[in-house]
Amino acid sequence: MNKSLSFLFLLFSFCLIDAQIEEKKLDELIQNSLKTFDVPGMSVGIVKDGKLIYAKGFGVRSLNNNQPMDASTLVGIASNSKGFTCTALAILADEGKLNWDDKVTKYIPEFQMADPYVSQNITIKDLITHRAGLGLGQGDLMFFPEGGNLNVNDIVHNVRFLKPENPFRTTLDYNNIMFIVAGEVIHRVSGLQWADFIEQRIMKPVGMTASFGSYKRAVAANSQNMIDAHAPVDGKAIAVPHDWNETANAAGGILSNINDMTTWANFLLNGFITKDGKRLVSEKNAHELWSLQIPDKVALTSPYDTHFYGYGLGWFLSDVKGHLQVQHSGGLIGTVTHFTLIPDMKLGIVVLTNQQSGAAFSTITNSVKDAYLGIENRDWLKIYGDRNKKNEDTFAKQKKEVYDKASKFRSELKDDQFIGWYKDDWFGIVEVSKLGKGYRIISKSSPKLKGDLIPYSANSFVAKWDDRSYDADAFFILNFDENGKAQSARMKPISDATDFSFDFEDLDLKKINYRRHHLITY
């Protein structure tokens, strides 16, 4: 950051005049955040005491067309969709069509997990509280990145092959797959597709007139004011294709904008009651949604003196300076969003972006939050800017060390030792093949996940994906038998930059033969 911008920010303070934030100061902070974190476009909304205080867009919605981003620009809100999924379940609970503690198999009889006890006892509430035992992002490769060929029923079936990382109901490990199962519960109980239920039973009565339950629906409606996603490639943000598989809509498929998301915020802050006085969720179940269901660790020191942190039903819950905070973030390749409520202050803060820098939305959210909490002289732009630069330098060093080593290594492996097909029970087949003097890797169930295999050591390669926006290159590590033939493989990211949804470490790839159209395990 240059000295003039830094000095400007040190002088920065929000002024509360008639319950409003000084507009010019916030405008400047957002513009500086776009520059600092290389974000092409951002929209920000604030509600206070039932009123819309601020709703603006900045920058451009796409580097492909340089059209301006505004409060009406549609953005994939990603995991902020989870609050809608849980609201849908609450509506069905109020109608007596399900209970939170119903067994999942009551509605999806074929559903199984790896442990028979868990299969018999897992409840709807377990699905949506990240406590089913699956690890962080475990199973996400079944729908991430976009372009895979597994449908919802495939995912529901394949859950049984995921080996839980933790005992049932003991820890909070963020997981999308269980929300996909919850979306299927909504489908089977209501008879509506998840996106239909969300649009008809929630968005329409709340007054979210421009939002969609899925990306395909927005495209089908010919929505023109929509972002392109952007991700850093070689240190500079570029436009990349939208990335979200329709099978995972219940975990993160909604498209919305600042105008509608601030309407959603006011609806929630008003006790789940619409502007025309219609209650969508009973007071009992609204309380349930925002009650702590599974705790997580709290740092010894916190910028907001936080004493508890955990997950409710579709929401992260914590205390900030003595106030309950209800919040969630969302992330796709090239897009991140943040949604924050402080209910007793009737305060809502929404940040939508078209780049994947969480530091950008954290800068805005914390600065606005500080203003309303009366906290002065905290330079969040500098704090997150410095942290972001340090992380980028660390990630770049990790990747450089790997590729420097790979460039000097000459493999002595013979093609017939490892070329062929490898199968993981929940993910499917990964093919390793020869191409010219090099090697290629491609997933059969996720065809966009393909790239070069570069020799790295005596038993490993680096998978360098063709789509460089993934920033998810991974080691492909072989296990050999006594005759030097590969029997299996495992994978892991080469750097900490990799998003947790690229859950390569959860794969258990077994070498297989293909004979007479049957897959035979070695």
Spell out the long-range contacts of 365-368 with Cβ–Cβ below 8 A and sequence spacing 24 or more: 365/338, 365/340, 366/303, 367/12, 367/14, 367/26, 367/29, 368/14, 368/21, 368/26, 368/46
Q: With contact defined as beta carbons under 8 Å apart, do 450 and 456 qualify?
A: no
CB atoms within 10 A of CB 121: 15
* CA distances, 5 to each of 32, 33, 137, 177, 400 (Å): 8, 11, 38, 43, 32
Residue 9, pLDDT score: 35
Q: Please, what is the average pLDDT of the chain?
A: 93
Residue 140, pLDDT score: 97
pLDDT digits (tens, 9 = 90+) for 173-212: 999 999 999 999 999 999 999 999 999 999 999 999 999 9
What type of residue sits at position 444? K
Give the separation between CA 331 and CA 353, rounded to whole angstroms: 10
Mapped to the 3 state alphabet, what secondary structure does 402-455 carry?
A: HHHHHHHCCCCCCHHHHCEEEEECCCEEEEEEEECCEEEEEECCCCCCEEEEEE
Rama region for 144: left / alpha / beta (φ>0; ψ in -120 to 50; rest):
beta
Q: With contact defined as beta carbons under 8 Å apart, do 513 and 499 qualify?
A: no
Q: With contact defined as beta carbons under 8 Å apart, do 146 and 229 qualify?
A: no
Rama region for 484: left / alpha / beta (φ>0; ψ in -120 to 50; rest):
left
Q: What angle do CA 121, 125, 127 make, to 5 degrees?
A: 80
Which residues lie below 8 Å from residue 71, measured CB to CB, with a gap of 6+? 43, 45, 55, 56, 57, 257, 258, 259
**Two structure tokens written together for 453:** 């295999």
Q: With contact defined as beta carbons under 8 Å apart, do 489 and 477 qualify?
A: yes
| Nearest CA-CA partner of 424 in 118, 119, 142 | 142
**Two structure tokens written together for 347:** 């305060």
For the chain, where do the domains classified as CATH 3.40.710.10 start and end? Answer: 3-377
Q: With contact defined as beta carbons under 8 Å apart, do 352 and 249 qualify?
A: no
pTM above threshold 0.75: yes
Strands, E, within 132-206: which ranges? none
**Two structure tokens written together for 400:** 């450089």
Residue 21, pLDDT score: 66
Q: With contact defined as beta carbons under 8 Å apart, do 338 and 327 qualify?
A: yes
Q: With 0-12 CB in 10 A as exposed, 13-18 as middle and 19+ as buried, what is 344?
A: exposed
For the chain, where do the domains classified as CATH 2.40.128.50 start and end? Answer: 415-521
Q: With contact defined as beta carbons under 8 Å apart, do 270 and 50 qualify?
A: yes
| Nearest CA-CA partner of 449 in 230, 146, 244 | 146
Fold for domain 3-377?
Beta-lactamase (3.40.710)
The answer to whether domain 415-521 has CATH 3.30.9.10 is: no
Give the separation between CA 369 and CA 296, rounded to whole angstroms: 22
pLDDT digits (tens, 9 = 90+) for 316-370: 999 999 999 999 999 999 999 999 999 999 999 999 999 999 999 999 999 999 9
Q: With contact defined as beta carbons under 8 Å apart, do 298 and 321 qualify?
A: no
What type of residue sits at position 494? I
Q: What is the pLDDT along the chain (522 residues), one digit of tens a residue?
A: 443 333 333 333 344 433 446 899 999 999 999 999 999 999 999 999 999 999 999 999 999 999 999 999 999 999 999 999 999 999 999 999 999 999 999 999 999 999 999 999 999 999 999 999 999 999 999 999 988 999 999 999 999 999 999 999 999 999 999 999 999 999 999 999 999 999 999 999 999 999 999 999 999 999 899 999 999 999 899 999 887 889 999 999 999 999 999 999 999 999 999 999 999 999 999 999 999 999 999 988 999 999 999 999 999 999 999 999 999 999 999 999 999 999 999 999 999 999 999 999 999 999 999 999 999 889 999 999 999 999 999 999 999 999 999 999 999 999 999 999 999 999 999 999 999 999 999 999 999 999 999 999 999 999 999 999 999 999 999 999 999 999 999 999 999 999 999 999 999 999 998 643 344 333
Give the separation between CA 281 and CA 287, rounded to whole angstroms: 10
**Two structure tokens written together for 432:** 């390793």
